[in-house]
Amino acid sequence: MNTITLIGAGWLGLPLAQALTENHQVYASRTQTAGMLELTQHGITGFVCDLSLRDQSLSQHFIAQKSEIVIGSFPPGFRNGRGQEYAQQWQHLVAQAKLANVRKIVMVSSTSVYPDIAQPMSEQHASLSLAQNDSHFSEGARIMLQAEQHVIDSGLDYVIVRCSGLIGPKRHPSRFAARLAQVSKLAPANMLHQKDAIGALIFASEKLSKQVVNATTPQTVSKAEFYQAALAAAELDSPLPPIVDIADKRILSDKLSQLGYQFHYSHTLEALALNE
């Protein structure tokens, strides 16, 4: 049993915290008091932490909790125009963890770190050094890779889990289909169900050391086929957006499987049931 502190307990972090309580002592944070009280209602010991405020007392929370492992599960905020803060937030989190003698950091990252190239992508295809002089990497990818680098350079044990597109409860892909400008029959649907995101993060916390791993469903279909199947699973008659023939990257999860993680869903089409 370890003592684990989660920074960020939202759509992914809350069920992750609940799953971790089966074998570990768990604490989790929300940015506001109301959110902290909600955690209590779910049986999780919560506290308030807003990384954007650079709260210097965070290390005191870790010390009081006797935290051994810290898991950071919070979004970069690109859609809200706060993306530039993301790397700074991770830098602060790492510094506070070191002050508290935390043993290990697990970072929930994203496969959006990869360059915009239509080829299979494994872990070595994205790093801060690769991105600095390559225009195929987006500005958002560079920010996330800078955040990853703060974790890698921390001197602590670490695992970085790069999750692909997250689906699951209240995030069924049929809801997103109508918002898409187009879908491609040549672009792979790189998706990860919440169950496997949780499973991969628990596996990373308990079993892995100094690793960067992709977490994405091993087998998939094109985006056009995936979203058509999602609409059918939801029994919706909505038409697909325009179908195009634009190739895109395929994220590979071979490394995570080789390290011993067994996916709950081996194929993205298996993850489309509405009750999943």
pLDDT in tens, 220-252: 999 999 999 999 999 998 899 999 999 999 999
Closest CA to 214 of 148, 140, 274: 148
> How many Å apart are CA 276 and CA 208, to the nearest integer?
27
Residue 274, domain member (yes or no): no
Residue 257, domain member (yes or no): yes
Residue 115, domain member (yes or no): yes
Residue 124, domain member (yes or no): yes
The pTM (predicted TM-score) of the whole model is 0.96
Structure tokens at 106: 């697990």
Task: Answer yes or no: are the C-beta atoms of 161 and 204 closer than 8 Å.
Answer: yes
105-137 as b/e, with b when 16 or more CB fall inside 10 Å? bbbbbbbbbbbeeeeebebebbbbebbeeeeeb
Q: Is the pLDDT of residue 276 over 70?
A: no
Query: Residue type for 231, please?
Result: L
Residue 106, domain member (yes or no): yes
- In the DSSP assignment, the letter for residue 17 is H
69-89 as b/e, with b when 16 or more CB fall inside 10 Å? bbbbbbbbebeeeebebbbbb
Question: How many domains does one find in the chain?
Answer: 1
What domain range is 34 assigned to? 3-169+191-217+250-269
Crossing angle (nearest 10°) for helices 85-99 and 58-65: 40
Cα 101 from chain centre? 24
| Percentage of residues in the chain having pLDDT higher than 70 | 97
Residue 133, domain member (yes or no): yes
> How many Å apart are CA 90 and CA 72, to the nearest integer?
8
Residue 67, domain member (yes or no): yes
More confident residue, 52 or 192: 192
CATH code, 101: 3.40.50.720
Residue 136, domain member (yes or no): yes
Would you place residue 262 in the very low, low, confident or very high pLDDT band (cuts 50, 70, 90)? very high
Would you place residue 77 in the very low, low, confident or very high pLDDT band (cuts 50, 70, 90)? confident
